[in-house]
Chains A and B, each alone.
Chain A
Amino acid sequence: MPREAEPSLNEKQFVIQALQENLRLDGRELDQYRPLELTFGDQYGVADVTLGNTRILAKATAEVTVPYADRPLDGIFTIATELSPMTSPAFEVNRPTETEVLLSRLLEKTVRRSGALDTESLCLVAGQKCWSVRVDVHALSHDGNLTDAACLAVVAALRHFRKPDTSMEGGRLTVYTPAEREPVPLSWLHSPFCVTWSFFGDEGELAVLDATWLEEQVRVGSCTISLNKHGEICQIAKLGGTPVDAVALLQCTNVALTKVKEFSDLVDQKLAEDLKRRDKGGFMAELRAENDR
């Protein structure tokens, strides 16, 4: 079983010592994120998020299936998170590690359970046919804070995604191919984002945002807050670690809101840019299609 390499004693001690002097190894402020980049693929529903040296690719897909028997009116929505040896040689295919399980649960709680995607709108024929929307999260490079980057990638991919258009005529369901009808966006209700705080020091008194992998290996605890830009909190996860002062945690939540607003603006802006880029071809193509008829 390959194991993740531990940082050396010298590094561990230094990271803590530097943080106590408000210093981080990459020169950031304690509450500053690394440069965040978001790009979309040529296909619908592909989002590539780079956060410093961390890189996540999310891809959304949809297919028609049979709904679950106990939820005949709901579509199916799954988020698949699998960390491959590409993320780090310490991960193996088909052998989930703790990191992977925690990451997929957090995404599940943040995006799926918070009702970001209207699953009822995915239903086509009650109890018989529905859309199954699936997001695959690929962690290409892991330098800490996979959660925040992955959540942003999932939300961006789903908002960018278009599923094939359908119609019902006399009880017959038709699914149109992209060549026949322009695909349609998902019914999206709100965009939740994760903000992860890492705590350092004997009593967790030092709170740091967007920890790198080295910092993550040294921290004494972490807390992930998921919320949308309206300040509606979807979940707060503090899984073990050193106890943290309640008032400090409230302060963390407030800062998280400002970060989420930034993320929200970034996704909106990038989506608008992408739409503009696509529309050039799309509009012309439509004109041509008109002429053909």
Chain B
Amino acid sequence: MTATTAPEAALGVLPRSDGSAKYSHAGYTVTASVNGPIEAQRRDEHAYEAHVDVVVRPAAGVGGTRERHLESLLQSSLSQLILVKNFPRSLIQIVLQVEDSPENDYVNTKLVQASLNLAIMPALVQTAVLALLSAGVPMRATATATAIAIARQDGAQRIIVDPSPREIETGRSVHVLAFTSHGGLLLAESEGDFTVREWDEVYETARAICCRSAPAKDGMAMLLDDEATGGPDMRHFLRSTMESKVVADLHWK
């Protein structure tokens, strides 16, 4: 399967929700809808801030522990981005529907998978951020995310950006990192065996992918572009997607 395709996104794909986005990258396709701020139920109501509700729905089967785990990770990350204090006692509801995930051609997939699927995380974060932007929910900053695997090949360790399921299976560790547009680390989840030095390397690679600022295209960024681990420029992608949306929305200006 082609894992190194450029990310693609479409905004406002669901006409009946406040904001929506469809995002596909590295074999994952996720559609998200955002509704809010709407009235929160009594049990979810916070006196001083909005409750951010995240629902992750798998393409097949019912959501289980795995989805709940992903939801809790997303919930805490996205609550940091959204200006929740602006909407006390309300609810911002984000539903992420997984449409497609890359299949491992060497294994027959089981419907119920208890194991954690970290590699889907970047697609979920990215779709959620795009949908929030499309809904015009006030946010502190935007975020970008990426997945990185470390594999040991012929005695030398290798860093793989956007690993395929096969590479995750054979690799030693998987890491998911998300950064805010201010360059702060928003989310870091790792799985497998790795050393601190390896993690540092993962961090630098992820940072280069997520936080490459568009104006600094020459010097430093160019160097990184040439590297094999370069990967896509997520921040630039986010910006150009939003720019085209804004231009289309404000065509009358």
Contacts and interface: CB of A to CB of B under 8 A. Distances in A.
Interface of B: 14-17, 29, 31, 33, 35, 38-39, 41, 53, 55, 57, 59-63, 93, 95, 97, 99-100, 103, 105-111
Contacts of B63: 93
B97 A140 contact: yes
Nearest to B104: A177
Contact of B110 (A43, A55, A63, A86): A63
Interface stretch (A77-85, A111-119, A249-257): A77-85
Contacts of A178: 103, 105
B94 to A, nearest CB: 9
A180 to B, nearest CB: 9
Identify the 7 closest CB pairs spanning chains A and B, nearest first.
A86-B95, A179-B105, A61-B60, A86-B33, A141-B14, A53-B15, A178-B105
Interface of B, helix, strand, loop or mixed by DSSP: loop
Contacts of B55: 84-86, 93
Contact of B111 (A2, A61, A89): A61
B62 A82 contact: yes
Interface string A84-97: 11101100010000
Given A53-B15, A84-B97, A43 B103 contact: yes
Contacts of A61: 60-61, 109, 111
Given A53-B15, A143-B15, 20 more contacts: A2-B39, A59-B60, A59-B99, A82-B62, A84-B95, A84-B97, A85-B33, A85-B93, A86-B17, A86-B31, A89-B35, A89-B93, A93-B63, A134-B60, A136-B59, A138-B97, A140-B97, A143-B16, A177-B108, A179-B106
A57 B97 contact: yes
A142 interface: yes
Given A85-B35, A138-B57, A141-B15, A177 B97 contact: no
A164 interface: yes
Contacts of A136: 59-61
A46 interface: yes
23 contacts: A1-B41, A2-B39, A46-B59, A53-B16, A57-B97, A59-B59, A80-B62, A85-B33, A86-B31, A86-B33, A86-B55, A86-B97, A88-B16, A93-B63, A134-B60, A134-B111, A138-B97, A142-B16, A143-B15, A143-B16, A164-B108, A177-B106, A177-B108
Contact of A2 (B33, B41, B60, B97): B41
Contacts of B110: 63
A243 interface: no
B108 A175 contact: yes
A179 B41 CA distance: 49
A146 B29 CA distance: 23
A116 B195 CA distance: 55
Contacts of B29: 41
A97 B93 CA distance: 19
Contacts of A84: 55, 57, 95, 97
Interface string A193-205: 0000000000000
Contacts of B61: 61, 80, 134, 136
